[in-house]
Structure 1
Amino acid sequence: MTLIDDVCAFVKGYYNAEAPPLRDARIIAMDSSKVVMKTLGSLGAEVHKPSENTYSTYFSFGWKGETREEHWKRIKRGLDHWGPAGGPSLILDGGGEATLFILEGVKAEKAFADTGQLPDPSSTDDADLKIILSMIRDGLNTDPKRYHKMKDGLVGVCVATIEGVKRLVQLQANGTLLFPAIYVTGSKFISSLYGCCYSLFDGIKRATNMLIPGKKAIVCGYDEGSEGCAIVLEQAGADVSVYTVDPNHALQADLRGFHVIKTLDDVVSSEADIFVTNMNKDNMDVVKHVKRMKNKAIIYHMDPILDYAGVQQCFSGMQRTIVNPQIDKWVCPETKSSVTVLKNTGCPADLMSSWSFASLVVAVLELWGKRGTDKYENKVYDLPEHLEAKVSAFHFLPKLIKTKKETNSQAGQVFVPKEGQGNNVFPMSAEPNNCKTSAKIREILAMGLKACGLFGIAALGLINGAEVSFSKPTVCVELPSITIWGN
């Protein structure tokens, strides 16, 4: 069994109850694997998956070559899955796309009710928003309150990608986020060091035999994923520079010891061997220089698609060879130099999949369990600390049970933290098997602490003429005079 199977079984056992905790919950799963859907279903929810979001690394429910129009039509069908009077109560929204669709629908319905004006797709240059507005416009005359009813039934959203959370944070800043959202992959430790960095090396090894030590690498941006890539490239022996225009990210990269550059012009044509781009559209500037890159340069982009407006034009006139669905080789006819473009191959680390799975489940249970209360406002929250501790416990405890041969006296000692109980994830027992032994251990530890304190003070020369006497299990110290240094 894999780690995710172990964690899945542990989660089901932990939440096992006569009354399923997600009974009557209707969930749209935009960015979830089958194991997440099955687990939520076993906890009582009705789960529907309309389409994969465009920033996901799973792509288990879409198809290669799916167009934007097909993608958004599938999202709309998913939102309409429960009929005209219904809608989802929770959304697992990897890229924030279903959330955007609903909020744009609410805004269009309000404008239509106030002024009779229909949404105009030509009013925006955003390719996705054009499609959304067209679909909303076509349904306004049929049901002018469709998305208001859907919004009123929504309990909250769980978002799983950097681009998705940025979209929701922007909605919150604009005052248009109408329900709470939890960003489930906000753990910097997991997302950077055990996510993108593994995908980066996996992609390079699949595509080339490049020896990384001594190579010049440019990492675009310095968010969680980019930072992990920069760190592991440096550890592998590459000469790493960070390209960012964000002053906060620039300072962080500089304090980490990376050389920060503000322009790509000086490093593209002659120096850089590896380019790493993140999922921020602003950092796709690197492809504008693709025809000037040195021969056999590598572009690794974390976004599994490369169809942003204007990006394809950068490759115009170059000959493309599709090595496999994740690897493209582009050759410039004039110079005969080639550039290899690697797409995100997903996170091969088993921990990433199981962490994402468990985080989604506990976040959904949190939002559903706290519905009708005032705990969560219409804001974007990182995964709360007590839930992150619970996810860690779900990963640690199955390993512990496998490592130790569990006896009857050890059964039931595992402790999964709840809100307000701290972050202790180690096995605990309410009644120790040998109270006398525990008492002796506490006495010995107390003596050790007192002795350490005593010898520390003596070493600093703070005691004059102290007399020490030991009477088991206590330590007595007579201090006739103590000199305290300082003001």
Structure 2
Amino acid sequence: MAEYPSISEQLDDVESARVEGHRKMDWARQHMPIMTAVREEFEGEKPLDGQRIGMAMHVEAKTAVLVETLAEGGAEVAVTGCNPLSTHDDVSAALDEHPNITSYAKRGVDDEEYYEAIEAVIDIEPTVTVDDGMDMVAAIHEEYPELIDSIVGGCEETTTGVHRLRAMDADGALDYPVFAVNDTPMKRLFDNVHGTGESSLATIAMTTNLSWAGKTVVVAGYGYCGKGVAKKASGQNAKVVVTEVEPRRALEAHMEGYEVKPMAEAAKEGDVFITTTGNRDVITEDHFDQMKDGVLLANAGHFDIEIDLNKLSDLAVSERDARDGVHEYEMEDGRRLNVLAEGRLVNLAAPLALGHPVEVMDQSFGVQAACVREMVENSEKYDAGVHDVPDELDKEIAEIKLSADGVDFDSLTDEQADYMGSWQHGT
């Protein structure tokens, strides 16, 4: 298989990087009570003893807490990035120092290096996969199918990855069980809405030093991520326009008070465009031709295909880096269109990006850890294909969070539980 150096072998000053990486991880841990509780359980019970976990994730401080927790649960872990621009090299180096972890994640790799690193992770012959975007699952099925029989299962973190997995499953091509972690209430209601919404807007503001108040923000897609972006932008006194292809979501956006228009019309009005669809060619040549001078184009979907950057480059008469993380394309008529973070996931790929808030990822990674434990302990329950996360696992993580925040909540009485579980109670 692949021969690819770990991050420690690639950095000139690995010791300084490790110190800074541990500093970032320490801060994250202080604000992750769920992962603290899960880690204590994993350290004591070693539920992952003997497992080999291959991971392709956004390697930054919060993710590092998850990676360490799995290693402390007894697993050998190999990890790499799931986006060429979302890795924090110092955090990657700090992880690589752990005796049970090898990190191949490095920021700024090209496509060839990106897939070489994924192959290096696969080289440990994982028994469990933890993916963000499904690139590792795809690579195993396409290039190393002989490993599938030894894989007990996997977890998929994000919307785009789950879409790909469900398509793969529908084609009968997914040969081991994978939990759709993205589709749990704890992920959709908090990570996708609050996490994507807050982190995308904060990153765009920090990258550009511009205000949201009074601007027209066009949000492409009104799924959970789009809802979060729209809600947070509206809360900062922006005018929000939503574009959608699904009629019920378009109606939902309309009834929640947003303008809903085709992108061909919204392109004429927007000051900021944020794509959240997970699809390709959402903003294209026809839209570029209609846009105002100075617009900002940002992507909050997983892959850099939502904005047609190749066509934008073809149309431009000149290009330059206007700021760190902002690439300016000047059109023939003098209009300037600004693309953030090379069209990649803006809240993780921009130079100042930190990803979702720590508290939000504490919840999502708590679900991830619980799903890995479940897949290892009860693998016989799950056939090949995409599986919903058992509801009791999702509730378990919510209860840990409520307890940590000092929040009490009601429970059903026996009579209420009986009533809700029976069809025999009439009017």
Tell me which amino acid in the other structure corresponds to 1:201: L
**Residue 138 of structure 2: aligned partner:** 100
Paired residues for 1:284-433 under 5 Å: 284-286=282-284, 289-303=287-301, 306=304, 311-316=309-314, 317-323=316-322, 326-332=325-331, 334-343=332-341, 344-346=346-348, 347-371=355-379, 373-374=380-381, 376-400=382-406
For structure 2, list consecutive stretches of 5 or more residues without a partner in the other structure.
1-26, 93-104, 349-354, 412-426
**Residue 75 of structure 1: aligned partner:** 118
Residue 254 (structure 1) aligned with residue 280 (structure 2): no
- Asked if the contact 1:326–1:345 (Cα under 8 Å) also holds between the matched residues in 2, the reply is no
**Residue 52 of structure 1: aligned partner:** 81
Find the residue that maps to 2:280 and give its secondary structure. helix
Give how far 1:162 is off. Answer: 1.1
- Asked if the contact 2:297–2:337 (Cα under 8 Å) also holds between the matched residues in 1, the reply is yes
- Asked if the contact 1:320–1:331 (Cα under 8 Å) also holds between the matched residues in 2, the reply is yes
Residue 24 (structure 1) aligned with residue 50 (structure 2): yes
- Asked if the contact 1:279–1:301 (Cα under 8 Å) also holds between the matched residues in 2, the reply is no
Tell me which amino acid in the other structure corresponds to 2:368: L
Give how far 1:21 is off. Answer: 0.8
Find the residue that maps to 1:253 and give its secondary structure. helix
1:79-138 CA-to-partner distances (Å, cap 9, x unmatched) read 123xxxxx2110011111111122224xxxxxxxxxxxxxxxxxxxxxxxxxxxxxxxxx
Tell me which amino acid in the other structure corresponds to 2:291: M
CA distance in 1, matches of 2:204, 2:137: 35
Give how far 1:249 is off. Answer: 2.7
- 2:41 equivalent among 4, 9, 14: 14
Identity of aligned residues (%): 22
TM-score by length of 1: 0.66
1:21-57 CA-to-partner distances (Å, cap 9, x unmatched) read 11111100111522222111111111111x3113884
- Asked if the contact 2:281–2:306 (Cα under 8 Å) also holds between the matched residues in 1, the reply is no
**Residue 174 of structure 2: aligned partner:** 177
Paired residues for 1:29-40 under 5 Å: 29-31=55-57, 33-40=63-70
Find the residue that maps to 1:280 and give its secondary structure. coil
Paired residues for 1:184-195 under 5 Å: 184-186=181-183, 187-195=187-195
Runs of 4+ in 1 over 6 A off after TM superposition: 424-427
CA distance in 2, matches of 1:56, 1:377: 35
- Asked if the contact 2:165–2:174 (Cα under 8 Å) also holds between the matched residues in 1, the reply is yes
More helix by share: 2
CA distance in 1, matches of 2:402, 2:326: 36
The aligned length equals 354
Give how far 1:233 is off. Answer: 2.0
CA distance in 1, matches of 2:285, 2:203: 18
**Residue 470 of structure 1: aligned partner:** none
1:270-298 CA-to-partner distances (Å, cap 9, x unmatched) read x2111111252335325653354111211
Give how far 1:369 is off. Answer: 0.9
CA distance in 2, matches of 1:308, 1:70: 23
CA gap of 1:302–1:227, structure 2 versus 1, over 3 A, is same
Tell me which amino acid in the other structure corresponds to 2:179: I
Give how far 1:182 is off. Answer: 1.2
CA distance in 1, matches of 2:106, 2:324: 12
- Asked if the contact 2:156–2:180 (Cα under 8 Å) also holds between the matched residues in 1, the reply is yes
CA distance in 2, matches of 1:5, 1:252: 33
CA gap of 1:72–1:79, structure 2 versus 1, over 3 A, is same
Larger Rg: 1
Find the residue that maps to 2:189 and give its secondary structure. helix
**Residue 128 of structure 1: aligned partner:** none
**Residue 243 of structure 2: aligned partner:** 243
**Residue 71 of structure 2: aligned partner:** 41
**Residue 414 of structure 1: aligned partner:** none
Paired residues for 1:452-471 under 5 Å: none
Give how far 1:388 is off. Answer: 1.4
